[in-house]
Amino acid sequence: MIRYILKRLLMLFPTLFGVVTLVFFMIALSPGDPARVMLGERASQEKIEKLRADLGLDKPLIQQYGLYLKRIVRLDFGKSIKSGQNVMDEIRARYPATIELALCAMIFASVLGIWIGVISATKKNTWIDYTSMVGALFGVSMPVFWLALVMIMIFSVQLNMFPTGGRMNIRLYFTPETNFYLVDTFKLLLQGKPEYIRSALHHLVLPSIALGTIPLAIIARTTRSSMLEVLKQDYVKTVRSAGIKERRVVFRYALRNALLPVITVIGLQFGMLLAGALLTETIFAWPGIGKWIYHAIEARDYPAVQGGIIIISTSFVLINLAVDVLYSVINPKIRLQ
């Protein structure tokens, strides 16, 4: 097992090197001059050239790439052109918000998606099965931004049930320690202040549902297909012939094996949620890294864009590693292959 994990870890380095190189050249070769964007169209050429020299943009591209690699090894992404703050500090301040939102969306999608998939498979070719799969098809086809706007219109504007955006009621001010609001507000709950965690959960409902709808549909369809395959296996028929109750057959014997491909899908979808939360964060004014990268792209803030994309890509690769390891724990044949 340790040998397998080490082998998978070694395979990460060329992948990450490729990501870092691709991000650098995509940003560096994209049109637009960050110095001119920062100083404005009316700035003199002299000022623009001076700023380009300060940012190292006047050096040959290959030299910029070498300096960039040296900084990346030290996890130094430089300073944001827009804010002047250290990029790594800004990522640390915003990434917990994205992780918290993606985790809640993934829990919502996984629990409901697996449940729908199992029910749909056990009720194959009934109205429950057809309704579930039509709903899944609708969910996977629906644009996230459209669903988010509809939810805001119905549940925030018309019914006034949930807030339209943000992470916390602005009247409930507190100083976060970890920037994971559920963790920080749980500590306040232990101090007899339940209104903070209530507000944090209240603000998570709509963005989590909007972000988790597509993964939910994919997980439901994958679970259904996998369950149908497993329920045809001989060992399931043997267990049934022994007179064991159908509920026990499904949840004790069939579901465990059926979850193998579902785990892979969950891992991939979680990585995609981290990277793809940009629209949801923008619509719900969620102060995460997706919204931050969006504004960095608008401002041609190269260091911020590079730092944000590299951190998200690294997270995606590490999540895939965790999924592979978990998969090999459940199915040891993977390690042998």
What pLDDT digit, counting tens, does each position of 187-238 carry?
889 888 899 999 999 999 999 999 999 999 999 999 999 999 988 888 888 8
Structure-block tokens of residue 292: 């931050």
Q: Is the pLDDT of residue 249 over 90?
A: no
Extract long-range pairs of 231-235: CB within 8 Å, 24+ residues apart: 231/121, 231/122, 233/257
3-class DSSP string for 116-130? HHHHHHHCCCCHHHH
Query: pTM for the full model?
Result: 0.83
Local confidence band at 294 (pLDDT 50, 70, 90 cut-offs): confident
Question: Residues 220, 225, 228, 232: is their CA dihedral positive or negative?
Answer: negative
Q: Are 68 and 310 in contact (CB under 8 A)?
A: no
How much is the average pLDDT of 115-127?
91
| Residue 62 burial (10 A CB sphere; 0-12, 13-18, 19+) | exposed
Residue 233: closest CA among 255, 263, 262: 255
Question: Mean pLDDT highest for which of 71-75, 82-86, 162-166?
Answer: 162-166
The pLDDT tens digits of the residues spanning 135-151 come to 888 888 888 888 899 99
Local confidence band at 109 (pLDDT 50, 70, 90 cut-offs): very high
How much is the average pLDDT of 292-301?
82
Instruction: Give residue 331's pLDDT.
Output: 67
Question: Residues 221, 222, 226, 229: is their CA dihedral positive or negative?
Answer: positive
Local confidence band at 100 (pLDDT 50, 70, 90 cut-offs): very high
The pLDDT tens digits of the residues spanning 34-61 come to 677 666 777 777 877 877 777 777 788 8
Supply the mean pLDDT for the chain.
84
Instruction: Give residue 207's pLDDT.
Output: 93
Domains of the chain: 1-74 (no CATH), 87-299 (1.10.3720.10)
Instruction: Give residue 337's pLDDT.
Output: 55
Residue 331: closest CA among 251, 241, 279, 256: 256
Question: Residues 328, 329, 335, 336: is their CA dihedral positive or negative?
Answer: negative
Q: Is the pLDDT of residue 289 over 60?
A: yes
- The set of residues, in sequence order, having a beta carbon less than 8 Å from that of 221 and lying 6+ positions away, is 117, 133, 136, 140
Residues above pLDDT 90, as percent of the chain: 23
Q: Is the pLDDT of residue 322 over 80?
A: yes
The backbone torsions φ and ψ at residue 205, rounded to the nearest 5 degrees and listed phi first, read -60, -60
Q: Hunting for tokens 């999924």 — which residue is that?
A: 323
Question: Residues 205, 319, 30, 289: is their CA dihedral positive or negative?
Answer: positive
How much is the average pLDDT of 78-90?
83
Q: Are 204 and 101 in contact (CB under 8 A)?
A: yes
How much is the average pLDDT of 306-324?
84
Extract long-range pairs of 87-90: CB within 8 Å, 24+ residues apart: 87/303, 87/304, 87/307, 87/308, 88/307, 90/292, 90/304
Structure-block tokens of residue 238: 């043997």
CA distance 313 to 23: 10
Instruction: Give residue 317's pLDDT.
Output: 83
Identify any residues that bridge with 179 across adjacent strands, giving them in sequence order: none
Residue 39: closest CA among 299, 306, 304, 307: 299
Local confidence band at 333 (pLDDT 50, 70, 90 cut-offs): low
How much is the average pLDDT of 12-31?
82
Local confidence band at 320 (pLDDT 50, 70, 90 cut-offs): confident
Structure-block tokens of residue 166: 């943000």
Question: Mean pLDDT highest for which of 29-33, 35-39, 115-119, 177-181?
Answer: 115-119
